[in-house]
Structure 1
Amino acid sequence: MTGIVVLGSAHMGLVAHAPRAPGRGETVTGREFRTVPGGRGVNQAVAAARAGGETALIGAVGSDDFGTLLRRTLTASGVDTDLLRTAEGPSGTAHTVVDDDGESAIVVVPGANAAVTSLAPGDETLIAAADTLLLQLELPLSAVLDGAGAARRHGVRTVLTPAPAQPLPPGLLAATDLLVPNAREAAALAGVADPRTAAETLLCQVPEVVITLGSAGSLYAARGRPPLPVPAPRVTAVDTTAAGDVFTGALAVALGEGQPMERALHWATAAAALCVQRPGSSPSMPYRPEIDSAS
């Protein structure tokens, strides 16, 4: 068990499966539609809890039926929702098209997530008692900065997923221990497309970086040591929507348990590989015994 706090978003996913995503001004006929609880905060919290971590989520859902379902989903996976707020109005939504290659295109409407502009009473106490704080960028940046500052004050490991890619406020990377971007996000932050060069550039701002590379696995880099490529197993991808969040949630659990970084990366990669072989966000996330068997 490990203590993980996620400060992040909660969205109801409205997911359409189609042969391909439509272009501008185009209509494409889909074959399936589902509503799936998600959002990067929910995804990382559920992934960490199912991987065996003692996990809590700080964020907000709306006062609508989606908010009730999101809270129920978290509780069913063992996530502590005591500090998950309910904001008057609609919950956040994520409108997703998944194509026949398992790739996704997503439009996010923040809803209740926009109400989380800072830490609320009790949030810093919860963060201070954790081993790891997971952050993403689907909440207002002021709240993300608040969370990172609280973690830094209390010596809590901070893991940042810089998604969606955007300019970061001063001080956020300085308060980050481990940065976990995908290749596109790393390129946006570093100003260079090559992952190895991007990792080297980002190490000027954070001590450790893991760049996720989809089916190619990931690349780990840390100051003072050579880059470590971590391959991914070959699988048939059905839906990659939650793969990065599953990877990050599982990685946080492994590191909190004291696993060496290389072993933790392989374990997190196995979790992500299991996830992409199933449809949906939270429904696709593997449990601890599955990850152990696959790794």
Structure 2
Amino acid sequence: MTHIAVLGSTNMDLVTYVDKAPRRGETVTGREFRTVPGGKGANQAIAAARAGATVSMIGAVGTDAYGARLRDTLEHSGVDTDFLRTVQGPSGTAHIVVDAEGGNAIVVIPGANGTVDHLSPGDEGVIATADALLLQLEIPLAAVVAGAQAARRHGVRTVLTPSPVQPLPSELLDAVDLLVPNEYEAVTLTGRTDPREAAAALLELVPEVVVTLGATGCLYLTRGAGPLVVPAPRVTAVDSTGAGDTFVGALAVARAEEKPVREALAWAAAAAAVSVQREGASASMPYRPEIEAQYGT
């Protein structure tokens, strides 16, 4: 079975649903509030596990009630948490506002994730046994670089989601195989306003780039070939939180299973399409039969 390692964050998502997100200085009344296990690392781990992979999560949770719930949620989804350590203090949290159109704005407070600034004993061994390593930027950059370099040493494919977006050092980019920014992140990283131009600029730094374009689909570039645009299924979005992580987790599984690129991208887009029709991040992520059903429509 495909083995995916994830080095990244676990957060409790504190989600407020509103008709319209407040502007600066404005107070609005929300419709609902929920606490939903999330974090980009945990989300991608759960997405990959539900898509059919064996998944190992490397990271940290706190000693609060959120930490116990985050660990339980990962384990319930079939994710191995042997290398998810518990540290004194609060777990990470993400404060999310979701509007009536399914759009969101997020503030992340690192908590325990801030302690993941290096690889702990055993982490490299887990990475070495994986078919792919998934990375994001919600833990200290030093650990992301260390993880990517460990994967490179062992010939493990590395997939980086550059979120929250920040400048990417050359020592990280040199160890990345696939970069998956959304449109905003691609523009911010390159200063190019056109997604194709931004993707082309990023392709000078890494071998493969996928720019996710929300409801439009995604744009794929690899060296020596022309751009590939894969549309997203048409669905009615309820909450887009976690859709990008669902896409990355499913894509990692599809590529590890050696699906052709176009098929892998369409399969990952189908997974994301299922997720946006439900509320929450990890709670919305589909299991493999649901992905296959959406992919076949």
Tell me how far apart the structure 2 counterparts of residues 93 and 197 of structure 1 sit (CA, whole Å). 34
- Tell me which residue corresponds to 1:229: 229
Distance 1:84 1:248 in 2: 20
Secondary structure of 2:220 counterpart: strand
**1:187 shift after superposition:** 0.7
User: 189-198 or 73-82: which moved more?
Assistant: 189-198
What residue in structure 1 maps to residue 100 of structure 2?
100
Q: Which amino acid aligns with 1:85?
A: R
Structure 1, residues 226-250: CA drift from partner, whole Å, max 9, x if none? 0000001111000001000000000
Structure 1 match to 2:82: 82
1:191 offset after TM fit, Å? 1.4
Deviation sequence 1:80-126 (CA, Å, 0-9, x none):
00000101000000000000000000000000000000000000000
Gaps of 5+ in 1: none
Residues 182-261 of structure 1: pairs in structure 2 closer than 5 A:
182-261=182-261
Mapped to 2, the partners of 1:60 and 1:27 lie a distance apart of 34
Alignment partner of 2:96: what SS?
Answer: strand
1:4 corresponds to 2:10: no
Q: Secondary structure at the match of 1:175?
A: coil
Runs of 4+ in 1 over 4 A off after TM superposition: none
Deviations 1:35-83, CA, capped at 9 Å, x for gaps: 0000000100000000001101100000000000000000000000000
In the TM superposition, what is the alpha-carbon distance from 1:173 to its structure 2 partner?
Answer: 1.1
Separation in structure 1 between the aligned mates of residue 258 and residue 234 of structure 2, nearest angstrom:
27
The TM-score with structure 2 as length reference comes to 0.99
Q: Which residue of 1 aligns with 2:164?
A: 164
- Alignment-mate amino acid for residue 126 of structure 2: L
**1:24 to partner: Cα distance:** 1.1
Query: 1:22, CA displacement in angstroms?
Result: 1.1
How many correspondences in the alignment?
295
Aligned partner of 1:153 in structure 2 is 153
Give the C-alpha shift of residue 169 in structure 1.
Answer: 2.1
Deviation, structure 1 residue 23: 1.1
* TM, length-normalised to structure 1: 0.99
Counterpart of 1:172, as a letter, is L
d(CA) in 2 for partners of 1:105, 1:294: 27
Q: Is the 8 A contact 1:134 1:159 kept in 2?
A: yes
Contact 1:183 1:193 (C-alpha < 8 Å) held by counterparts: no
Instruction: Tell me how far apart the structure 1 counterparts of residues 57 and 26 of structure 2 sit (CA, whole Å).
Output: 38
C-alpha RMSD of the superposition: 0.6
Structure 1: which amino acid aligns with 2:13?
Answer: G
**CA deviation digits over 1:1-51, x for unaligned, max 9?**
311000000000000000111111111100100000000001000000000
Q: How does 1:130-141 map to 2 (within 5 A)?
A: 130-141=130-141
**Separation in 2, partners of 1:27, 1:191:** 33
Q: Look up the SS of the partner of 1:55 in the other structure.
A: strand
In structure 1, what residue type is equivalent to 2:36?
V
In structure 2, give the amino acid aligned to 1:236.
T
**How far apart are residue 168 of structure 1 and its match?**
1.4
Q: Distance in 2 between matches of 1:138 and 1:21?
A: 24
- Determine whether 1:67 maps to 2:63: no
Separation in structure 2 between the aligned mates of residue 186 and residue 171 of structure 1, nearest angstrom: 19
Percent identical: 66
What is residue 27 of structure 1 aligned with on the other side? Answer: 27
Contact 1:128 1:150 in 2 (8 A): yes
Q: Distance in 2 between matches of 1:238 and 1:220?
A: 26
SS in 2 for 1:246: helix
Residue aligning to 1:113: 113
Q: Does 1:293 align with 2:293?
A: yes
Distance in 1 of aligned mates of 2:150 and 2:191: 29
SS across alignment from 1:100? coil
CA distance in 2, matches of 1:95, 1:57: 22
Q: Secondary structure at the match of 2:170?
A: coil
Contact 1:238–1:279 under 8 Å retained in 2 = yes
Q: Deviations over 1:172-199 (max 9, x none)?
A: 1111000000000001112101111111
* Distance in 1 separating the partners of 2:37 and 2:96: 12
Q: Does 1:49 align with 2:52?
A: no
The unaligned stretches of length 5 or more in structure 2 are none
SS of 2:71's equivalent in the other structure is helix
